[in-house]
């Protein structure tokens, strides 16, 4: 008789009672802080239409979506007509919480407040190769504001996140760092670096892996995606010079940006990031300035 496997599927985890209680305690603190800031809870189904998910995460992201097969006659018909992984499936497990939020806003726009502040804490799924610290099922905790592009909204999100960390015991300026990302800055750098618009998406996918694979790994990704070495080097130069430590001294110095030949398009976006950080410093009880990172 074959041995029955009792361990969880690779990349999945069981949570025993003590672990569930610890997680519930943390989630309870997160919820209480977000609710004090006026954010409302949202939950969405674990599955979404495949057409809703595809095309939102790039080619690599699409490959990591868990697909759910059609059933019955629909599946028989799909299998009989040159089947592919997309034609035999019509649904997928949610990859993140952002795309479901966009769908909810589109579906219930008339029922939602003009400024919709929501938080969502639910598991997401990635058909990735499991590794240490990398799972196929894990929780995400999202907080967003729909209906306003004000920098005070961004500061509100940062302040809420900082207060959550404080409430969990991370106190003091050295306990944690909030990082601001602005893709328009990165797009401006890509333009000046000579990366064609058609390859910007590929470059963004590679840059997003910087924390995981390092500069050399990103350089290899660029090579594999057909991005010229000179363009790649110019784009990665700020990362090598640790630009984030200097940027707060350079905000608003448009002439300096011109001297660097990065173009003035990046300057107002950097200024926006810095003004948001300054607003968050005044707003949040943590009193620490979020650091800045391009990307």
Per-residue pLDDT of the chain (295 residues; tens, 9 = 90+): 678 899 999 999 999 999 999 999 999 999 999 999 999 999 999 999 999 999 998 888 899 999 999 999 999 898 888 888 888 999 999 999 999 999 999 999 999 999 999 999 999 999 998 888 889 999 999 999 999 988 888 889 989 999 999 999 998 777 888 877 777 777 777 888 888 888 888 888 888 788 778 888 888 888 888 888 888 888 787 666 554 444 444 444 344 444 344 444 455 555 565 565 555 555 544 444 444 343 4
In-domain check, residue 174: no
Last residue of a domain, one of 148, 165, 187: 148
Buried b / exposed e along 131-159 (16+ C-beta atoms within 10 A): eeeebbeeeebbbbbbeeeebebbbbbbb
- 34 near 173, Cβ under 8 Å? no
Q: Cα–Cα distances in Å, from 117 out to 93, 103, 121, 158, 193?
A: 24, 15, 14, 13, 37
Report the pLDDT value the prediction gives residue 254, as an integer from 0 to 100. 42
Q: Which two tokens stand for residue 270?
A: 């950097």
Domain check: are 144 and 229 in the same one?
no
Residue located via tokens 């804490």: 121
In-domain check, residue 157: no
Domain check: are 206 and 135 in the same one?
no
Give the integer Cα–Cα distance in Å for 75 and 78.
Answer: 5
Domain check: are 204 and 144 in the same one?
no
Report the pLDDT value the prediction gives residue 273, as an integer from 0 to 100. 59
Q: What single-letter DSSP state applies at residue 9?
A: P
Q: Return the H-helix or E-strand segment holding 165.
A: helix 151-167
Domain check: are 135 and 185 in the same one?
no
DSSP output for 109-160 = TTTS-SSEEEEEEEEEE--PPPBTTB-SEEEEEEEEEES---HHHHHHHHHH
Report the pLDDT value the prediction gives residue 275, as an integer from 0 to 100. 60
Domain check: are 209 and 111 in the same one?
no
Give the integer Cα–Cα distance in Å for 105 and 278.
Answer: 30
| Total domains in the fold of the chain | 2
Last residue of a domain, one of 148, 167, 195: 148
Dihedral of the CA atoms 226, 67, 121, 134 (nearest 10)? -60
Please state whether beta strands 291-292 and 89-93 pair in parallel, antiparallel, or not at all (unpaired): unpaired
Domain check: are 135 and 242 in the same one?
no
State the CB neighbour count (10 A cutoff) for residue 36. Answer: 10
Report the pLDDT value the prediction gives residue 270, as an integer from 0 to 100. 56
- β-partners of residue 92 are 48, 67
Domain check: are 136 and 34 in the same one?
yes
Domain check: are 116 and 214 in the same one?
no
Give the integer Cα–Cα distance in Å for 121 and 139.
Answer: 7
In-domain check, residue 38: yes
In-domain check, residue 76: yes
- What is the CATH classification number for the domain harbouring 105? 3.30.930.10
Last residue of a domain, one of 133, 148, 163: 148
Domain check: are 19 and 142 in the same one?
yes
State the CB neighbour count (10 A cutoff) for residue 105. Answer: 15
Cα Rg of the chain, angstroms: 22
- β-partners of residue 137 are 125
- 31 near 120, Cβ under 8 Å? no
Which residue range(s) make up the domain with 122? 9-148
In-domain check, residue 276: yes
Domain check: are 204 and 110 in the same one?
no
Give the integer Cα–Cα distance in Å for 80 and 68.
Answer: 18
Domain check: are 131 and 78 in the same one?
yes
Determine the length of the chain. 295
- 254 near 267, Cβ under 8 Å? yes
Please state whether beta strands 179-180 and 291-292 pair in parallel, antiparallel, or not at all (unpaired): parallel
In-domain check, residue 91: yes
């Amino acid at each position: 008789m074959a041995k029955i496997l009792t361990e969880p599927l690779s990349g999945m985890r069981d949570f025993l009672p003590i672990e569930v209680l610890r997680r519930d305690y943390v989630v309870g603190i997160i919820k209480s802080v977000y609710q004090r800031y006026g954010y409302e809870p949202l939950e969405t189904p674990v599955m979404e239409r495949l057409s809703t998910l595809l095309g939102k995460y790039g080619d690599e992201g699409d490959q990591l979506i868990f697909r759910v097969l059609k059933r019955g006659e629909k599946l028989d018909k799909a299998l009989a007509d040159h089947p592919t992984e997309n034609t035999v499936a019509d649904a997928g497990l949610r990859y993140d919480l952002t795309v479901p939020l966009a769908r909810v806003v589109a579906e219930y726009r008339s029922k939602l407040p003009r400024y919709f502040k929501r938080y969502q804490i639910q598991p997401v799924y990635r058909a990735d190769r499991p590794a240490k610290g990398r799972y196929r099922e894990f929780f995400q905790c999202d907080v967003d504001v729909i209906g306003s592009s004000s920098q005070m909204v961004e500061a509100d999100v940062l302040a809420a996140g900082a207060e959550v960390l404080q409430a969990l015991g991370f106190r003091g300026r050295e306990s944690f760092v909030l990082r601001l990302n602005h893709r328009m800055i990165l797009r401006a750098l890509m333009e000046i670096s000579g990366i064609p618009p058609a390859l910007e998406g590929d470059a963004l996918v590679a840059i997003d892996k910087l924390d995981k694979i390092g500069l050399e790994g990103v350089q290899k990704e660029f090579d594999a995606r057909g991005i010229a070495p000179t363009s790649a080097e110019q784009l990665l130069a700020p990362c090598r010079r640790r630009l984030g430590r200097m940027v707060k001294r350079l905000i608003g110095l448009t002439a300096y940006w011109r001297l660097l030949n990065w173009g003035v398009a990046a300057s107002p976006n950097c200024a926006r990031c810095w003004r948001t950080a300054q607003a968050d410093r005044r707003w949040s009880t943590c009193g620490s300035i979020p650091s800045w990172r391009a990307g």
